Structure 1
Amino acid sequence: MAVDEIDRRLVELLGEDGRRTFTEMASILGVSEGTVRARVQRLTSDGTLRIVALCNPLTLGHQSVRLLLTVRKLTPRAVARSLENIPMIGQIALLAGSHDIWVEATPRDLGQLADLLDELRRTPGVASIDQAVLTRLYKDYSWTGLRDLSGERAQGGGGVS
């Protein structure tokens, strides 16, 4: 499904403050509250938009790590699905390039990071893991991919599976 300029602005406004009211957004956009309500409902029901509370794990004393996994003998999709129930992993994505899977995790401390790495190494199909531990988070979760046409879906789909 295609998004238009109103959809893009709604995503941007909610990205700034996910608690914004439909009335406030309608006023900013110059459309009716019903239009905002219907569009937000459509964007959430089709999976384009998800409104969540986010925090910076570093401010809570947690580690924040990015892991790049290379897969052998299994498909990256199968390995990614096997990682979905690990609680400290917040994001799993398939990649195109020299690595197969991107993982974002927030272990409590370095000991828990070691436990996570051990668990990943025991996961069937995981051949190697490159690690990056964040020392400071300057900007995150402010994706603006729908701001212009660069956020449009290519013909034929290609969404999350």
Structure 2
Amino acid sequence: MDQPRRYVAVARKPVDREQDNPDSTSKNTAPARSTVAVDELSKLIIEQLQEDGRRSYAAIGKAVGLSEAAVRQRVQRLLDSGMVQIVAVTDPLQLGFLRQAMIGVKVSGDAQRVADELAEIEEIEYVVVTAGSFDVLVEVVCRDDDQLLEVINRRIRSLDAVTGTETFVYLKLRKQTYAWGTLR
């Protein structure tokens, strides 16, 4: 039996290592954000939000030993820094997106530049530069196979530096979680 899906969670924003590189010319690079110290209380707050992103500041404060106002300030600092974001996690199938896939992309030349170009494609939800058989992995969410074919053939493979792709179509999602906790 499938596990029930969690619809609200706190997800860590992807780390953009480019933002630390002053020589980077990536158009997707966010401006450097202020660094937030993550002490044990902040980690406890993050874990509370990962359990339920709609949990009240008062309830979180009671669980971690802070006032509602102190929790609100800490959460705002975490949001402003980009360390966390509070999002509604949806089930694409229930929203009419019948095809999901992971696509491995082989590149000649600058994989980071290609990753930036791939990140601009609306159907692509996840982009990561990797080491190994593929230079970049992307996750796509599409209405159907026709849209998936369009994304692969006309958008991904049409990029000059892309030398090959391999598509891994999702048959069934067995686990998806954003509650990995924090390092202590």
TM-score (norm 1): 0.81
Query: Larger % of strand: which?
Result: 2
Partner residue, 1:65: 101
More deviation, 54-63/100-109: 54-63
Say whether 1:3 aligns with 2:38. Answer: yes
Letter in 2 for 1:90: E
Misfit runs of 4+, over 3 Å: none
Secondary structure (helix, strand or coil) at the match of 1:86 reads: coil
Partner residue, 2:165: 129
Superposition deviation, residue 49 in structure 1: 0.4
Say whether 1:49 aligns with 2:49. Answer: no
Partner residue, 1:19: 54
Letter in 2 for 1:121: R
Mapping 1:24-39, distance limit 5 Å: 24-39=59-74
Identity %: 34
Distance 1:11 1:127 in 2: 41
Distance 2:47 2:175 in 1: 15
Secondary structure (helix, strand or coil) at the match of 2:168 reads: strand
Superposition deviation, residue 29 in structure 1: 1.3
- For structure 2, the 5+ residue unaligned runs are 1-34
Secondary structure (helix, strand or coil) at the match of 1:106 reads: strand
**How many residues were matched structurally?**
147
TM-score (norm 2): 0.72
Partner residue, 1:106: 141
